[in-house]
Structure 1
Amino acid sequence: MAQFSHIIFDLDGTLTDNTLGIKNSLKYALEQMQVDGYHENILDTFIGPPLQWGFSTQFGMNERDTKLAVDYFREYYGEHGWHQNDPYDGIMELLAELDAQGKRMYVATAKLEKYANKIIEHFEMDRYIIQVKGADYHAKKATKNKIIADVLTMQQLVPSKEIVMVGDTVYDIEGGNENEISTIAVGYGFGKEEDLRATNPDYFVEDVDELFELLTL
């Protein structure tokens, strides 16, 4: 069975449900960009990938407009959106138990790092999380593959199956696979089960209870 000594968590859709904060920030950004008439379901596609991808791919914005939209998003998010957020039921108990077992825990997120840190501190997860690694302002390190690699490098960890990436999107699982560590796909976040399974994660869990059982063995 699985025995993990180091656990890297995604943030949105894995530790916390930030749907409201992200969608409200997107609505504000699109309003400022005078974009309307879109179906609200399209906002779901922004959760997980870098913002730049969403604005350029889903709305066809050029580089200048994409940067402006991202700035508007962060304007709202920095003041309101980051705390329109809640940990999933059972997550705090999971982190406490893993800490008690001596597990080393980290966060790797495509979210801007300063916001990720604010969220982790707000919910007092910083009692358990050793390092939070996110995107820089220009998204130069926004790919999940690179962010996970940065955590491994900064923590002087040699890739092994005792290190696991836990996340709810294909970017998390692909990033873990590319860095040659174990992967756990969670089905309670924002990713689709069929997409997640197609990336061949080592494990798939339906809810936080199953994740608890797997990680605390």
Structure 2
Amino acid sequence: MPRYPHILFDLDGTLIDSAPAILASFRSAFAQTGIQPVIAIDESIIGPPLMETLQLLSGSHDPALIARLADAFKASYDTEGYKATAAYDGVGAMLARLKGAGLSLSIATNKRIHPTRLILEHLGWSGFFDHVYALDLFAPRLPHKAAMIERLIADREIPKEAAIYIGDRSEDGQSADANGLPFIAATWGYGSITAEEMPAHWRQATTPENMGQALLAD
């Protein structure tokens, strides 16, 4: 059995290329509400939670304005928009290989829980994951990814020495660090961590195949 039988995955930019679907729904939300974004709606804004991203794009923290944008985004993304999500080449095979080796796979994502479940079902991946956690899985909503990972490993009684986190952004590595978990960066995603951002104790994998090999070799 590999050293880390419990593998926790980020979702956007790590397992799936959700940028086209997310960006289309953000553009639709601003068009539908008649609000002008203050920065470009491009791949650089993918990753943070929805409300935080809407505040960034609108340049506003007004609750009513953000709520209007959020409702418009969800109306687009949660009905048809999410279906434009694509798996990165090789990810499905990697997940099947890891699951077939008897490892326990979980999702810990900033994405809302409802579209997360829709996407996993759409891609035929629901059976791969034992646990799926998101910030809004709980009330009150969890404050950040580090707290979500902490909640997941506590709820599921996962020993920290038996778990590892996989993501594509510096926030993912920092959230792993906060929980005393090792981290491997998926460098094929749009949130790819640069060499300057990569502490010596983080590892990286350039393809899903290489990631699967690293996880099974540990």
The answer for the alignment partner of 1:148 in structure 2 is 149
Q: Any conservation in 2 of the 1:46–1:54 contact (CA below 8 Å)?
A: yes
Render the CA deviation track for 1:18-52: whole Å, top value 9, x for unaligned: 11110111001111232347664x43233111122
Q: Any conservation in 1 of the 2:37–2:58 contact (CA below 8 Å)?
A: no
Q: Quote the Cα distance in structure 2 between the aligned partners of 1:28 and 1:36.
A: 11
Structure 2 unpaired stretches of 5+: none
Q: Quote the Cα distance in structure 2 between the aligned partners of 1:107 and 1:152.
A: 12
**Misfit runs of 4+, over 6 Å:** none
Render the CA deviation track for 1:56-86: whole Å, top value 9, x for unaligned: 2343112322222122111111111211111
Matches within 5 A, 1:160-199: 160=161, 162-194=162-194, 197-198=197-198
Compute the displacement of 1:128 (Å): 1.5
- When residues 31 and 201 of structure 1 are mapped into structure 2, their CA distance, relative to the original with a 3 A threshold, is farther
The answer for the alignment partner of 1:128 in structure 2 is 128
**Identity within the alignment, %:** 24
Q: Quote the Cα distance in structure 2 between the aligned partners of 1:139 and 1:56.
A: 20
The answer for the alignment partner of 1:208 in structure 2 is 208
* Alignment: residue pair count: 214
Compute the displacement of 1:176 (Å): 0.8
Amino acid across the alignment from 2:47: G
Question: Mean alpha-carbon deviation: is it higher for 78-87 or for 138-147?
Answer: 138-147
The answer for the alignment partner of 1:14 in structure 2 is 14
- When residues 196 and 183 of structure 1 are mapped into structure 2, their CA distance, relative to the original with a 3 A threshold, is farther
- When residues 37 and 47 of structure 1 are mapped into structure 2, their CA distance, relative to the original with a 3 A threshold, is closer
Q: Quote the Cα distance in structure 1 between the aligned partners of 2:192 and 2:135.
A: 23
Question: Mean alpha-carbon deviation: is it higher for 105-114 or for 53-62?
Answer: 53-62
Q: Any conservation in 2 of the 1:48–1:171 contact (CA below 8 Å)?
A: no
Instruction: Please say if 1:69 is aligned against 2:65.
Output: no
Q: Any conservation in 2 of the 1:136–1:142 contact (CA below 8 Å)?
A: no
Q: Quote the Cα distance in structure 2 between the aligned partners of 1:179 and 1:200.
A: 17
Amino acid across the alignment from 1:174: Q
Task: Quote the RMSD (CA, aligned, Å).
Answer: 2.2
Q: Quote the Cα distance in structure 1 between the aligned partners of 2:140 and 2:105.
A: 23
- When residues 89 and 82 of structure 1 are mapped into structure 2, their CA distance, relative to the original with a 3 A threshold, is same
Q: Quote the Cα distance in structure 1 between the aligned partners of 2:121 and 2:173.
A: 25
Q: Quote the Cα distance in structure 1 between the aligned partners of 2:189 and 2:121.
A: 21
Structure 1 unpaired stretches of 5+: none
Q: TM-score, normalised by structure 2?
A: 0.88
The answer for the alignment partner of 1:25 in structure 2 is 25
Compute the displacement of 1:200 (Å): 5.3
Compute the displacement of 1:199 (Å): 5.3
- When residues 19 and 33 of structure 1 are mapped into structure 2, their CA distance, relative to the original with a 3 A threshold, is same
Q: Any conservation in 2 of the 1:21–1:77 contact (CA below 8 Å)?
A: yes
